[in-house]
C-alpha cells in the first residue's frame, strides 16, 4: 500500500484533474474518493491504516502508548515516543494524565477507555465535540463514574503498583494519530482521540456514547465540517 504522503498527493492530483474537466470538488471529497479507491470505508480509516503500516516494527504488536515516569508516578508527555507522529496538545497531555489519575486513585491495574472517556468529558476540545453532538455531559459523567467505581473493582492492584493503559487504549491513541495526520494537524487533541473510541464496539465507553445517540459520523461532521447535530438527529 502506498504511504500516507502518496495517498494525499493522489487526492490533490485527482482534485486538480477533475477541475480541468469542469468538476470542482472539495479537498475532503477528493480524500474520500482516494479512500474508496483503496477499498477503505473512509479517509480517516485509510490514513489510520497507512499510519500503522509506515510506523514500522512498533505496530507489529498492539502496544499502548507508554507514559513517561515522574516522581509522582506515570505521566503522558506532550511528545509521544514516535517522533514522526503528531505531538500531543497541552490540553490532551493534561487529559491523558487525568485518565491515569482516575485509575490510580481507584487502584485500578489498567487505565481503560472508560477512564479515558471520563477524562475527555473535561477536555476542552473533546467536550466541544460531544456538546455539538447533543451529548448530556453530566449524564455521561455519572454513567462512566458509576461503571468505573462498581464494574471495574475486579482490576484492583496491590499497593505500590502503577496503572497501565489497556491495548484498546493504545489502539485508540494510534488511530487518533492517523486521524490527525489525515487532517494535516501537527498536534493531536482530545477531539481526534474521541473519534476512534467508536471503533471499539465492545467497549462500554463506545456504548455509553451510543446511548447518547452520538455516532462517529456525528463527531467527524463537527470536527471536519463544523456541522452541529440538531435535536431531530439532522445536522446544520
Best-predicted range by mean pLDDT (2-6, 124-128, 183-187)? 124-128
Domains: count for the chain: 2
Q: Do 124 and 189 fall within a single domain?
A: yes
Q: Do 132 and 202 fall within a single domain?
A: yes
CB atoms near residue 105 (< 10 Å): 11
Q: Do 194 and 127 fall within a single domain?
A: yes
Q: Do 150 and 44 fall within a single domain?
A: no
For 13-34, what is each residue's pLDDT tens digit?
Answer: 766 766 665 667 777 777 776 6
pLDDT at 123: 97
Please check the confidence at residue 197 and state whether its pLDDT lies above 80: yes
Asked if 112 and 166 count as a contact pair (C-beta separation under 8 A), the reply is yes
Q: Do 195 and 125 fall within a single domain?
A: yes
Is residue 82 in some structural domain? yes
pLDDT at 45: 73
Q: Do 97 and 37 fall within a single domain?
A: no
pLDDT at 59: 37
Q: Do 17 and 133 fall within a single domain?
A: no
What is the pTM for the complete model shown?
0.67
Is residue 64 in some structural domain? no
Which stretches of 127-194 are assigned E, i.e. beta strand? 164-165, 187-188
pLDDT at 84: 53
Confidence category of residue 64, pLDDT binned at 50, 70, 90: very low
For 72-105, what is each residue's pLDDT tens digit?
Answer: 455 565 555 445 556 889 999 999 999 999 999 9
Is residue 65 in some structural domain? no
Q: Do 31 and 128 fall within a single domain?
A: no
Q: Which residues of 133-149 are buried (b: 16+ CB within 10 A; e: fewer)?
A: bebeeeebeebbeebbe
For 134-175, what is each residue's pLDDT tens digit?
Answer: 999 999 999 999 999 999 877 777 666 778 899 899 889 988
Asked if 136 and 142 count as a contact pair (C-beta separation under 8 A), the reply is no
pLDDT at 160: 61
pLDDT at 1: 39
State the residue range of the domain holding 16.
4-58
Amino acid at each position: 500500500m502506498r504511504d500516507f504522503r502518496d495517498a494525499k498527493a493522489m487526492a490533490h492530483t485527482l482534485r486538480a484533474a477533475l477541475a480541468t474537466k469542469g468538476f470542482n470538488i472539495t479537498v475532503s471529497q477528493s480524500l474520500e474518493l482516494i479512500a474508496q479507491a483503496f477499498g477503505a470505508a473512509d479517509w480517516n480509516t485509510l490514513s489510520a491504516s497507512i499510519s500503522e503500516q509506515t510506523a514500522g516494527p512498533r505496530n507489529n504488536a498492539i502496544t499502548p502508548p507508554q507514559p513517561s515516569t515522574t516522581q509522582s508516578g506515570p505521566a503522558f508527555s506532550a511528545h509521544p515516543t514516535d517522533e514522526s507522529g503528531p505531538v500531543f496538545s497541552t490540553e490532551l497531555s493534561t487529559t491523558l494524565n487525568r485518565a491515569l489519575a482516575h485509575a490510580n486513585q481507584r487502584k485500578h491495574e489498567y487505565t481503560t477507555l472508560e477512564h479515558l472517556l471520563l477524562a475527555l468529558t473535561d477536555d476542552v476540545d473533546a467536550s466541544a465535540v460531544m456538546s455539538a453532538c447533543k451529548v448530556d455531559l453530566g449524564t455521561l459523567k455519572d454513567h462512566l463514574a458509576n461503571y468505573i467505581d462498581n464494574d471495574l473493582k475486579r482490576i484492583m492492584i496491590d499497593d505500590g503498583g502503577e496503572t497501565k493503559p489497556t491495548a484498546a487504549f493504545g489502539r485508540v491513541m494510534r488511530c487518533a494519530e492517523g486521524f490527525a495526520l489525515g487532517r494535516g494537524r501537527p498536534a493531536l487533541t482530545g477531539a481526534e482521540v474521541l473519534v476512534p473510541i467508536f471503533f471499539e464496539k465492545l467497549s462500554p465507553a463506545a456504548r455509553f456514547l451510543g446511548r447518547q445517540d452520538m455516532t462517529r459520523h456525528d463527531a467527524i461532521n463537527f470536527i471536519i465540517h463544523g456541522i452541529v447535530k440538531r435535536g431531530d438527529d439532522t445536522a446544520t
